[in-house]
Structure 1
Amino acid sequence: MKSYLCETQLLDYKQSVIEDLIDSRQWRQIESSQELISEVYNFVRNEIKFGYNRGDALTASEILGDGLGQCNTKNILLRGVGVPCRIQGFTIDKTMQKGALTGVTYRLAPKKIIHAYTEVFYNQEWLALEGVIVDDQLLSQTKSHLSDQGDKLLGYGVSVKKSDGFNTCFYGKSTYIQFASVIDHLGTYNSPDELFQQYSNNRLKFKMWIFNTFMRRRINTNLQKIRDYGVRYSIKLVATNFQKYKR
């Protein structure tokens, strides 16, 4: 398990900003492993809100400073409290981002997006913590506006099978929020560093420059408006525009 606990360039949990957070929350004093995982999980899920960073391969301390993240950047803190973690890498269909990404921004996104989530070792098994990605406030405002695609619901960063429902709370079992749109499994990795050495959404530098210069702030502002006021204040609705952007 040692390789699943070590600090890496991206998992820089010895940085003072992370140490201070862990100490202030008294996470290391929690004796129950399930309670500890749940506390850290809920912090990342709801206090690091769903949003778009300037890239995927950012350090844990940078994500904490941003106060927001998406699938490839929110899975950051559990090693710092001694919980073994590893990364599962996938590609995922971009249609589940419709509503979070709109217009030109959506069209610029690749059809297959690099997707990752953390697994934790708990009760002698590896559990997926994909449900950490979308914060409760955003989910509560968007779940009734998701696009109905037969056996699943998707949009605004969500993709769930109807039979599974919205499984985002950690009770000692795996959690999922985007997995219904997964296409390919890229492998299991000891750390996000290893995954992003091989795969990245950020290889097209000109597109990333356009995204970071002109679009990212507007997208994150739009997501916050949805949290505060509801979907009617977003740029476009998923259900009414989905077929147009499905390709």
Structure 2
Amino acid sequence: MLDFSSPNIQELIKERKWTDLNEFDCLKSIYNYVRDEILFGYNIDDNIPASKVLKDGYGQCNTKGTLFMALLRSCGIPCRVHGFTIDKELQKGAMTGFVYKKAPQNVFHSWVEVYFENKWYELEAFILDKEYLSKLQKQNAECSGQFCGYGVAVKDFQHPVIDFDRNNTYIQSEGINQDFGVYDSPDELLKEHHQEMSATKAFAYRHLGRHLMNHNVKKLRNI
């Protein structure tokens, strides 16, 4: 899945001149790119390769994480993936109606951990692009504390830690209900853990549910 040799990924790295930067600036620039230029949205599956996520131009925790890891590895920055599940309440608003009702209670989730300056950093807040999060905050301006929904689960909704500057970043961590541990790659994680749903529900998600969810996300981003 971390197919960083793919032409579109190598072209992006060359275009952004990431390999010319020092390690910190490279890491921060890749993080900001995946967060804000790959928009929050729902791809056809969790197990698509990084090159497909880049081609789609959007993704969620697992798919954006795959692209993030591929870019980091191609630039020589060590990283790993940490698997979880989150309560589906976190997706309410992005999921609505029968899609939310029929969704599994536990939603497969992951973040990326990056090894930098002899320390592992937990990076999760690349999931939501700043434009989407800003619109969500404005729509819920009265909320000054904890918030759960629309892809967010944080203690301080108006001031979540989403920028990387030698620190952990989180945007869905308060919704975590199971911890699967760390893995060297998304392939290894998905061999042991994945979204549990029936074949019928998986088909419905691919062909209908995710399109309705993407519609809800775009509607919010464009208000």
TM-score (norm 1): 0.83
C-alpha deviation, 1:143, in angstroms: 2.0
Matched residue count = 219
Residue 60 of structure 2 corresponds to: 70
Q: Does 1:45 align with 2:39?
A: no
Quote the offset at 1:125 in angstroms: 0.7
Matching residue of 1:240? none
| Identical amino acids, percent of aligned pairs | 39
Deviation at 1:150, TM superposition (A): 10
Which one-letter code corresponds to 1:179 in the other structure?
S
Corresponding residue of 2:177: 183
Question: What are the superposed Cα offsets for residues 44-79 of structure 1, whole Å, 9 maximum, x if unpaired?
Answer: 001111111111111000101111111111012211
Q: Which of these residues, 15, 20, 30, is aligned with residue 29 of structure 1?
A: 20
1:1-247 → structure 2 map (5 Å cutoff): 10-31=1-22, 33-75=23-65, 76=67, 77-145=71-139, 152-162=146-156, 165-201=159-195, 203-229=197-223
Unaligned runs of 5+ in 2: none
CA RMSD between the two structures: 2.0
Shift, 1:151, TM fit: 6.4
Structure 1's unaligned 5+ residue stretches are: 1-9, 230-247
Look up the equivalent residue of 2:175 and give its one-letter code: S
Once residues 61 and 88 of structure 2 are traced to their aligned partners in structure 1, the CA distance between those partners, rounded to angstroms, is 13
1:49–1:68 Cα contact (<8 Å) kept? yes
Q: Look up the equivalent residue of 2:155 and give its one-letter code.
A: K
Most deviating of 127-136 and 103-112: 103-112
Paired with 1:86 and 1:226, the residues of 2 have a C-alpha distance of 32
**CA distance 1:60–1:205, change in 2 (3 Å):** same
What is the rounded CA distance, in whole Å, between the counterparts of 2:141 and 2:82 in structure 1? Answer: 26
On the 8 A contact 2:34/2:64 being kept in 1, the answer is yes
